[in-house]
Amino acid sequence: MQFASPHYLWLLTLLAPMTAYYVWRTMQGGAAIRISTVAGVLHAPKTVRHYLRHLPFALRAAAFALLVVALARPQDIEQNVRTNTEGIDIVLAIDVSASMLARDFRPDRITAAKEVAGSFVADRYGDRIGLVVFAAEAFTQSPLTTDQSTLQTLLARIRSGLIDDSGTAIGNGLATAINRLRESEAKSKVIILLTDGVNNRGQIAPMTAAEIARAQGIRVYTIGVGTEGTAPYPAVDIYGQPTGDVVMAKVEIDEKTLGAMADLTGGKYFRATDNAKLKAIYDEINQLEKSKVEVTERISYHERFLVWALAALGALLLEFLLSNLVLKRIP
């Protein structure tokens, strides 16, 4: 409840001097007659009139207070809010080839990519998000979903060696992500492709996949991860098992192709050289791809002054009846 004219409530402060005057007048007493003694009536039982003698004033004060509240126009507020969210369909395509185990990120590239992607997913409430992983081949880790709990679980299960990692098929990874969005009816469709290498496997060239994305109205943001120059990589034996040693190898990222893919689809290419830069990139994409939220708010005001005015009238009527019937005084 609120008051349309709350300044009238200051009139309630008049109750204090009204009460003080009533108490003073009562203590002064009224007309009196002289009698020799009151000993005979000191122990006489008190009647109902004795206990009700201050009630008329209390009712007048209550009526005054109720009228002041009515003047302030109390109102009930009914607020209806309707939210219409126009979400975005997003597919995260993440490279899981063996090179993603490089330790130029903390603790390594693939772990850093998963952590930052997890934070990105948590910020995209209401959007449908899917996961695609790729190395020498590509497959869907999660279809488009709004179930963030399941999505985070599947994201945590991503690891290098999950699929054939004898190369990097960037084109196949992008094509698989496009296929996830093929039947999407969202007005905005986005793919965020993260890789640390060059395309050397797969049946689909990266630029061919980018042309398909453009035809489908899909924006592609590409991210190249890896420091400049060389990076430490865990050494593996002839069977692909880690030996515990670390070797330094040159970082090779096909930035030209990744940039061309992004430009062709209306997206943007980013280069991440450490954890902080990678997080900043996802934060920027998060800002670029804001979901449209339409909020319609309707507020209705219902006047309630009549209830208070009627209550004041009732108090005055009761005071009149008590003063003139039950507590009537003889002049």
Confidence bin at 43 (pLDDT 50/70/90): low
Angle at which helix 206-215 crosses helix 170-181, to 10 degrees, equals: 20
Confidence bin at 239 (pLDDT 50/70/90): low
pLDDT in the model for residue 278: 96
- The DSSP secondary-structure symbol of 192 reads E
- 221 phi and psi angles, rounded to 5 deg: -100, 125
Domains belonging to the chain, first-starting first, are 2-26+46-79+298-326 (no CATH), 88-290 (3.40.50.410)
pLDDT in the model for residue 23: 84
What is the average pLDDT across 195-209? 95
Give, in order, the Cα–Cα distances in Å from 43 to each of 39, 40, 47. 8, 7, 12
pLDDT in tens, 280-323: 999 999 998 876 655 566 777 788 888 988 998 998 898 888 87
Cα 51 from Cα 128, distance rounded (Å) = 73
pLDDT in tens, 167-191: 999 999 999 999 999 989 888 999 9
pLDDT in the model for residue 48: 59
What is the average pLDDT across 33-45? 58
Tokens of 139: 């497959």
Contact indicator for 173, 160 with CB cutoff of 8 Å: no
pLDDT in tens, 88-136: 999 999 999 989 999 999 999 999 999 999 999 999 987 999 999 999 9
82: which strand partners? 296
pLDDT in tens, 250-285: 999 999 999 999 999 999 999 999 999 999 999 999
Residues 6+ apart with CB under 8 A from 273: 104, 226, 227, 228
The closest of 199, 190, 182 to 137, measured between CA atoms, is 199
